A and B are shown apart, each in its own frame.
Chain A
Amino acid sequence: MQMKFQNPRKIYLMFAAAFLLLAFPAHAAETSYDRYASMPRVSEPRSSASRVSTDFLSYPFELLRWPISKSLYLTEKYHLDNKAKWAYDTLADNGITPKLGLFSLTGGSGGVTIDYVRLFRQKNDFPDLVAKSWVDYSNNVRLNLGSELGWQDLGGSGVGASTFIDYDSRPEEHFYGIGPETSAGNGTSYKMETTTLGAKLTYDPRPTMGGNLFFNYKNVNITNGEDGGRGIIDDIFPRDSIPGLAGDELLVYGAEVRHDTRNQRELSTAGGLRRVGLALNDGVGSSEARFIKYEAEFSQYFALGSPRRVLAYHAFAEHNDELGNSGTVPFHQMAKLGGYGIGPWLSRTLRGYDQNRFTDESSFLMNLEYRYTVWESRNFRMDTVAFTDLGQVFGELNEFEFDNFRESYGGGFRFSVANHMLLGVEVAHGDEGTNLYVRSSTPF
């Protein structure tokens, strides 16, 4: 059919209409059909893989999901997290600071520190006064309680002084004998109760520098351990072969100097800690103990191009030197190695071995850790750690032998918030087996 344009106005109108159509943005192009029509596509047959549902495999986990989800929902709905934080802060502001920790997969620790200055609203009047009591409990590991009275940083001078009393009960301390070659089969346990009365004078001229002088009276009582699965210390080791097995009363005079340039107390990424100390221990009453304890500790943290990659090195040395011909070092005051180290135990970090696995007058220990961040979100972080520990105990300094080093290696994860470790899970392997550690603090 031939179109006729008799009216030129119509032609102009058509041109105008065509121009308008062309002027539309390309993506808003008009189509002759309704692109958005509600005409559902008949689904193509799905592939066999997508037809098969294996949701049922997750059904058992639904039993976990529901209560967890519900608990989390209610926690947020009723602001239970904020309420708990408020309760903690309020207690702390009023001088009562609760503590919780983890030292094994099933073992927890708890405690409370009471700051009487805050409790009795005296902080403004006596900002330097220290008056506190504490109690810490770790099931089957330690009960510690005590009180301290004194001053800290008097008038901003950095000088402080205090006296304290402390009771420490350890119902299941492990003991394998003295020396680097003891047998893992000779595992015994003993109970150690220490009561300490002391005084100390501190001087911290700078945040990174400090030292103290101290005088303590210690009463150490040794009895049979409460770990029924282990040998009784008196039965395995003759009483006269182990100095201090009957307990001791000690007067301790000591000094310590500390230089701490770590950028954080935990999970440091730069700086380091140097600490040296010595203490004269003099037995009183029937105690034959008379020795000087020397300790030196060194740690350094290197960020490897990023604070997310840190090489951490730690070394510790201890020597207990008998004085005179009759002076002895009681076994309970000797250097000890084994276990994760930090926390309620006395022994230093030699992972892969039982706590207190090695005991002698001297020890030398090195720990090397490579810590790297694998996950982080805001203040939360998870680090992976790969480590090796190397240590030995020995008697006199000339008995140190490179062949006596015991080594271990391992790795794990540490979960922290705001550079404060919440949970760490680590596995270490030494020549006596493999150990798992679940902790809420770093070893150094």
Chain B
Amino acid sequence: MKEPIFMSDQAHPFNPFKKVLLALITALTVAVPSNVHAALEIKAQETSFYKDMFEQGAYYEGTSYLRLDRLYRALFNKQVGAEDINIYDEVPDSSFFTNRHARSPLSLQDLKKGFQETDGPNFSGEVKVVGGVFEGLQPNFEIEDASGARYELRFDSSDNFELATAASVIASRFYHAAGYNVPQVTVVKFAAGTLVPAPGARIIDDTGFEKDLTAEKLEEYLLFLPTDEAGDYRASATKVISGSDKGSFNFQGKRRGDASDLVDHERRRSLRALQVFASWLNNTDVRPGTTQDVVVTENGQEVLKHYLTGFSSSLGATSKGPKPPMHGHEYLFDFGETAKAFFTLGIWEKPWQRRWREAGEKASSSPALGYFDNRYFEPQSFKTQLSNYAFKDVSRADGFWAAKIIKSFSDDDIRALVEAGQLTSSEDAEAITRVLIERRDIIARYWYRTANPLDFFEYANGTLNFKDLAVDAGFVPAEGTVYHFEVLSVEGNRGTHAASLQSSATSLAVDSSWFSSGSVHILIRTSRPGSAEPSLFVRVELDAQKLLGIMHED
């Protein structure tokens, strides 16, 4: 005979209130997961550049001074840890992020290919233009190929052939390899006459009014576009993401209606780290408007997947031409930099002004490169055009995590990714590759120095082994580097000092007596030659059998 779930009051002195409470909790526990998997009823969140500009650039920036917790943290240099991390201080796969290259290096071919659903639009026959926008002499067309797949075509500005299209494709490959969801983006080339207006197609021209797209109009729009030596047009083709479009996502708060979105976005390491990835790729346009949420069905369940979508402001480009000199150095509305210029009576030359002056106030002589180099590049100072709380909250542990992923790209990996941009000039491709390689190392060097770059911990046979990524990368010499171990025997929430050790080896013999209370926390700090101050700590949690957790100090 089965035991009843609840025994009698005599057997267990549960009062009726506790019973009801327990039943309620049980019901809720069962109910919550079922909600997660129910059909998602999520309202599309619409945004636009103007809205983002106001909210991210002015409103949240201005009202952040009313958030006393932020003021306190800014004043006392306190950081708030990420909450989407696992016990090993990594970001597990989620609808925002999937560990790819850092987990298992992708082949050069896969890196170059990126996210691919199709081979790209089929230009072997006529391709229908079903809609679009023509603004500033640059059209964006939505096309439908013979297979019925839809793509958005974006073109380079007339003076900068290959610039924006290459930047879009290259950046999308990097983001995908790093772990983000991106749409399929490919470089396409097609001959004049390939595009034809679909019946009933409408286009919004620079008057702001929607008009019929006729063959004559289409030809007129294409007149403004640059072509290659063969007379072919070149564009980036972004495949329309399959699924139910739910607009954009914000970089703060949770997505309303998505029960699986349990962590505030500003507390997601995967989103905070976009600031670091943006600094690498010189992507100055990361904002709600360059994201997209889509409900897709995976394994029979509806899931809200979060995509990054706009990449044309990466590397040396913006969609309208070379990157303006202040991009990457200042926010669109940068109160701090403005105040500095104000109080120094304009005598202080801003870093971007100095860089621009030294460049002769012009972008690269190659139109396909735009304005992209590493002069005066400082990872900690890189700014996207519009800021957000997630980027402002990047902690040292977050930065280290992102830098670790960035450093996982070898020189050859980067070269392969740049090849995806299909630049005509190998010198241009090599120039971009060189800047990215240098910048990768600048970023890794900075974050490895700022955080404690110990990782890949292994515990076996009574020995704790780990890697010092800064030494492995050759940023600091192994000789003279000393690791300080502070061992705490932990029982419940209390820790008792068990030992203090130091070693120049990246291993530690773990004494079995330290486990007398149960588990052990080992705080490891690193001191470098010539530096008196030891680093932040990395906390490694062990029991006698296995490694329980890792935490890099924020």
- A residues within 8 Å of B by Cβ? 25-29, 31-33, 35-41, 43-44, 46-47, 49-55, 57-58, 61, 65, 68-69, 72-73, 75-86, 306, 308-309, 370, 372-378, 382, 384, 386
Contact = CB atoms under 8 A, between A and B. Distances in A.
B191 interface: no
B48 A76 contact: yes
Nearest to A43: B83
Contacts of A82: 135, 206-208
A381 to B, nearest CB: 11
A52 B68 contact: yes
Contacts of B430: none
Given A53-B69, A73-B51, A378 B324 contact: yes
Contacts of B408: 25, 27-28
Interface in B312-365: 324, 326, 330, 332-334, 337-338, 341-342, 345-347, 349, 353, 357
A54 B346 contact: no
Greatest chain A CB density within 10 A among B47, B86, B91, B209 is at B86
A349 to B, nearest CB: 22
B407 A27 contact: yes
Contacts of B84: 40
Contacts of B208: 78-86
B404 interface: yes
Interface stretch (B32-40, B59-67, B236-244, B521-529): B59-67
B90 A28 contact: no
Contacts of B50: 72-73, 75-76
B215 interface: no
B17 interface: no
Nearest to A81: B208
B103 interface: yes
Give the secondary structure class of A's interface.
mixed
21 contacts: A27-B407, A27-B408, A28-B102, A28-B104, A31-B457, A36-B103, A37-B86, A39-B86, A41-B83, A49-B68, A50-B69, A50-B80, A57-B68, A73-B51, A77-B46, A79-B209, A82-B207, A375-B338, A377-B324, A377-B326, A384-B342
Given A27-B102, A76-B49, A382-B338, A39 B72 contact: no
B198 interface: no
A29 B357 CA distance: 45
Given A75-B50, A83-B209, A378-B324, A33 B547 contact: yes
Given A54-B69, A72-B51, A374-B346, A26 B86 contact: no
Contacts of B86: 36-41
Contact of B78 (A50, A85, A86, A373): A50
A47 B78 contact: yes
Contacts of B81: 43-44
A73 B105 contact: no
A437 B47 CA distance: 36
Contacts of B333: 375
Contacts of B103: 28, 35-36
Interface string B453-492: 0001110100000010100100000000000000000000
A363 B348 CA distance: 38
Contacts of B54: 68-69, 72
Contacts of A52: 68-69
Task: Give the one of A27, A28, A76, A374 with max B CB within 10 A.
Answer: A27
Contacts of B69: 49-54
Contacts of B457: 31
Given A73-B51, A83-B207, A83-B209, A37 B346 contact: no
Contacts of B456: 29, 31
